[in-house]
């Protein structure tokens, strides 16, 4: 039963309101002054405070500060609606003008209590999730993932640059988001940029902005994405794709906290934290001259390497449950469970596309499942690989075979989706393995 405290110096109004609320089943306490109300709040935990705005010993709005976890409804006379608006600005849940209609008051009380209850449930859920998954939305009980979570907890509150490494779909962007959310910059923007998705010729100006006329003598001055991250975090995905010119501008940001727009003579100060990700072998790139060594060492201050899913099979079951729940919510399906045989098939699969591939397979299965149970056929996984042979070569064979078997009747987008990797990753693997898509 909800407890309500009424703070009103006029006894007639206070009593009438008390009776109205009691009649509706609320438990009511009364106070005729702020001092008396504050005493009561120390003794009892109320679900709602209804307070007159003007009281003999001060303004009723002070109750907002006095009981920060309880919503406060302010009552006021017609003449002071303006001050009631001020009260809202100070954190009152709502205000109601006197004399009020009974139904209006009861509706208002019910609405505030309902909203407050939802907020409390929400906060509880968040803290439960926080306990289950200490790093925002990251599932993983394997030793490797637990170690990563511990590192993230330590590194997030600092301003250190973090280089996040791992195969496609292992959760690099998720880690970047978790670091930002757990940092003191959480309220400022997190600007995520996939360097590989920006055409080479535009990379510098997209990232660092440009001055009017920098290219052709025309055009407007434009702020870059790095500047937009001022005060917050800049996440550069696929940092290995930065051009040499963009690399040197980025180095300046890291060394001096300064950005120079393309075509500008001066620099601007920025305060940003850099997080970077790559699945490329930056060491080899440095050796071969494709990546600046000084920038490499600046990025490498703290390194987090996400293991491939096949290297932490003990996480598959928990991840599958988590992703199944997520897919059911997204697709507005009731509860669906995983048949043990489906879980077995997942445990045996090679997962070249890692968690993203698992997520796609589960979403597909939720759509295809007829009843409330997911069977192996709904997952449409290719035959299991030999569990003892998890070397890269077998994955590459699997990739090669899958692409050769399906490229004639699938688009690149479809191929990438079935493999659980991005289109860009597919293109990169094709290039690396010397198997470009046949023309026509």
Ligand X SMILES: Nc1ncnc2c1ncn2[C@@H]1O[C@H](COP(=O)(O)OP(=O)(O)OP(=O)(O)O)[C@@H](O)[C@H]1O
Residue the block writes with tokens 């030999």: 386
- Could you say whether residue 172 binds ligand X (CB under 6 A)? yes
- Could you say whether residue 144 binds ligand X (CB under 6 A)? no
Helix or strand or coil: residue 433? coil
Residue the block writes with tokens 């499942």: 369
Q: Which residue among 140, 209, 224, 376 contacts ligand X (CB under 6 A)?
A: 140
Q: Which stretch binds ligand X (CB under 6 A): 37-45, 132-140, 266-274, 363-371?
A: 132-140
Binding residues for ligand X restricted to 15-34, rule: CB under 6 A:
none
* Least distance between ligand X and beta carbon 362 (Å): 11
Half-sphere exposure of 319 (CA within 13 A, CB side): 27
Q: In 347-417, at which residue ranges do the beta strands (DSSP E only) sit?
A: 373-374
Size of the site for ligand X (CB under 6 A): 21
- Could you say whether residue 53 binds ligand X (CB under 6 A)? no
Binding residues for ligand X restricted to 254-283, rule: CB under 6 A:
279
Binding residues for ligand X restricted to 88-117, rule: CB under 6 A:
none
Neighbours of 419 (CB within 10 A): 24
Closer by beta carbon to ligand X, 51 or else 360: 360
* Residues in contact with ligand X, shown as a per-residue x/- string from 177 to 216 under the rule CB under 6 A: ----------------------------------------
- Could you say whether residue 171 binds ligand X (CB under 6 A)? yes
Q: Both ends of the chain: CA-CA distance in Å?
A: 71
Alpha-carbon gap, residue 118 to 124, rounded angstroms: 10
- Could you say whether residue 422 binds ligand X (CB under 6 A)? yes
Q: Which residue among 21, 34, 72, 138 contacts ligand X (CB under 6 A)?
A: 138
Neighbours of 18 (CB within 10 A): 18
Closer by beta carbon to ligand X, 80 or else 194: 194
- Could you say whether residue 429 binds ligand X (CB under 6 A)? no
- Could you say whether residue 376 binds ligand X (CB under 6 A)? no
Closer by beta carbon to ligand X, 70 or else 170: 170
DSSP string for 300-358: TTEEEEPPPGGG-GGGHHHHHHHHHHHHHHHTT----EE-HHHHHHHHH---TTHHHHH
Closer by beta carbon to ligand X, 31 or else 242: 242
Q: Could you tell me the two tokens for 343?
A: 């879980």
Neighbours of 201 (CB within 10 A): 10
Q: Which stretch binds ligand X (CB under 6 A): 4-12, 16-24, 94-102, 172-180?
A: 172-180
* Least distance between ligand X and beta carbon 164 (Å): 8
Alpha-carbon gap, residue 219 to 295, rounded angstroms: 31
- Could you say whether residue 324 binds ligand X (CB under 6 A)? no
* Least distance between ligand X and beta carbon 328 (Å): 15
Q: Which stretch binds ligand X (CB under 6 A): 119-127, 334-342, 352-360, 431-439?
A: 352-360
- Could you say whether residue 169 binds ligand X (CB under 6 A)? yes
Q: Report the residue number whose CB is nearest to ligand X.
A: 171
Q: Which residue among 276, 359, 361, 379 contacts ligand X (CB under 6 A)?
A: 359
* Least distance between ligand X and beta carbon 399 (Å): 15
- Could you say whether residue 355 binds ligand X (CB under 6 A)? yes
Q: Which residues contact 339 (CB under 8 A, 6 or more apart)?
A: 373, 374, 375, 376
Q: Could you tell me the two tokens for 172?
A: 């690099």
Tell me how many degrees the CA angle 222-224-225 measures, rounded to the nearest 5.
145
Closer by beta carbon to ligand X, 113 or else 379: 379
Residue the block writes with tokens 């449950």: 321
What per-residue string of b and e applies to 63-90 under the rule 16 or more CB within 10 Å gives b?
A: bbeebeebbbbbbbeeebeebbebbeee
Q: Which residues pair with 59 in a beta bridge?
A: 54
Closer by beta carbon to ligand X, 258 or else 321: 321
Q: Which stretch binds ligand X (CB under 6 A): 4-12, 65-73, 133-141, 377-385?
A: 133-141
Closer by beta carbon to ligand X, 135 or else 259: 135
DSSP string for 210-257: B-TTSSSS-S--B--HHHHTTTSEEEEESGGG--HHHHHHHHHHHHHS
* Least distance between ligand X and beta carbon 16 (Å): 55
Residue numbers at the binding site for ligand X (CB under 6 A): 137-140, 166, 168-174, 237, 279, 319, 322, 355-356, 359, 422, 425
């Amino acid at each position: 039963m909800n407890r309500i405290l009424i703070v009103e110096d006029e006894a007639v109004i206070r009593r009438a309101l008390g009776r109205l609320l009691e009649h509706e089943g609320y438990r009511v306490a009364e106070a005729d002054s702020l001092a008396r109300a504050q005493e009561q709040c120390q003794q009892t935990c109320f679900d709602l405070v209804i307070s007159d705005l003007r009281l003999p010993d001060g303004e009723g709005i002070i109750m907002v500060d006095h009981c920060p976890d309880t919503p406060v409804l302010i009552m006021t006379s017609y003449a002071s609606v303006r001050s009631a608006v001020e009260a809202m600005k100070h954190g009152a849940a709502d205000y109601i003008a006197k004399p009020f209609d009974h139904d209006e008051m009861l509706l208002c009380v019910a609405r505030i209590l309902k909203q407050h209850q939802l907020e409390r449930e929400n906060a509880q859920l968040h803290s439960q999730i926080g306990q289950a998954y200490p790093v925002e939305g990251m599932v993983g009980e394997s030793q490797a993932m637990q170690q990563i979570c511990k590192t993230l907890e330590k590194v997030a509150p600092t301003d250190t640059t973090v280089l996040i490494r791992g195969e496609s779909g292992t959760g690099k962007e998720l880690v970047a988001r978790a670091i930002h959310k757990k940092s003191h910059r959480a309220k400022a923007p997190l600007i995520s940029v996939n360097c590989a998705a920006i055409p080479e010729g535009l990379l510098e100006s997209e990232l660092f902005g440009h001055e009017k006329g920098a290219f052709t003598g025309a055009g407007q001055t434009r702020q870059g994405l790095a500047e937009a991250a001022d005060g917050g975090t800049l996440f550069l995905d696929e940092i290995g794709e930065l051009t040499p010119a963009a690399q040197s501008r980025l180095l300046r940001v890291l060394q001096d906290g300064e950005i120079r727009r393309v075509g500008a003579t001066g620099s601007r100060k920025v305060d940003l934290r850099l997080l970077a990700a790559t699945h490329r072998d930056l060491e080899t790139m440095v050796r071969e001259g494709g990546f600046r060594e000084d920038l490499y060492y600046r990025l490498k201050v703290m390194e987090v390497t996400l293991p491939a899913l096949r290297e932490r099979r003990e996480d598959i079951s928990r991840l599958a449950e988590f992703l199944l729940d997520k897919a059911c919510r997204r697709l507005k399906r009731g509860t669906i469970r995983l048949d043990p045989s489906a879980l077995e098939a997942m445990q045996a699969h090679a997962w070249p596309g890692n968690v993203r591939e698992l997520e796609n397979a589960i979403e597909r299965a939720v759509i295809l499942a007829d009843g409330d149970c997911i069977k192996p056929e709904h997952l449409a996984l290719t035959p299991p690989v030999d569990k003892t042979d998890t070397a890269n070569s077998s994955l590459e064979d699997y990739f090669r075979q899958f692409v050769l078997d399906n490229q004639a009747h699938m688009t690149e987008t479809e191929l990438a989706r079935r493999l659980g990797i991005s289109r860009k990753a597919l293109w990169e693997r094709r290039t690396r393995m010397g198997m470009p898509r046949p023309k026509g």
